[in-house]
Amino acid sequence: MAYFKLGKAAQGLPDAEKSLELRPNDPFTFNIRGHIFEALGRKEEAIADYRQALAIMPALEDASRGLQRLGDKTGMGASEKPSSHERDIIPLDCRNYVPSAGLTIAVPCDP
């Protein structure tokens, strides 16, 4: 995300992909990668990632806004009832250091 905020979205893509290898069901990383794809003009991939983020966590409003920006009307909105998966999400209280970005991100802890 640090690269994205610095206007270097393409450089942040490998970090997002590595994060998804480590945590393949992390809605926040799908959302971040959606932002990266959107910044790179890769609309279909951005839409797919925003949709995936919302499939895991329907209340993730940032992903809903991403779909709205891209003109996608098929995404789930935050107003929908939370899925049973969302109710079972473990709080974000673990940390994962991303060396190439030089930052630590919060990730769900393993039970």
86 confidence band (pLDDT: 50, 70, 90): very low
For range 22-49, the mean pLDDT: 93
**Sign of the dihedral defined by the CA atoms of residues 56, 101, 68, 72, in that order:** negative
Locus of tokens 């690269």? 3
Domain span at 60: 2-108
User: Which of the two residues, 49 and 87, has the higher pLDDT score?
Assistant: 49
In one letter, which amino acid is 53? A
User: Which of the two residues, 8 and 45, has the higher pLDDT score?
Assistant: 45
Average per-residue pLDDT in the chain? 75
Number of domains, the chain: 1
The string of pLDDT tens digits covering residues 57-71 is 999 999 999 999 999
User: What is the spatial distance between Cα 64 and Cα 70, in angstroms, rounded to a whole number?
Assistant: 10
SS3 57: coil
CATH value at residue 100: 1.25.40.10
What number of helices (H) and strands (E) belong to the chain? 6, 2
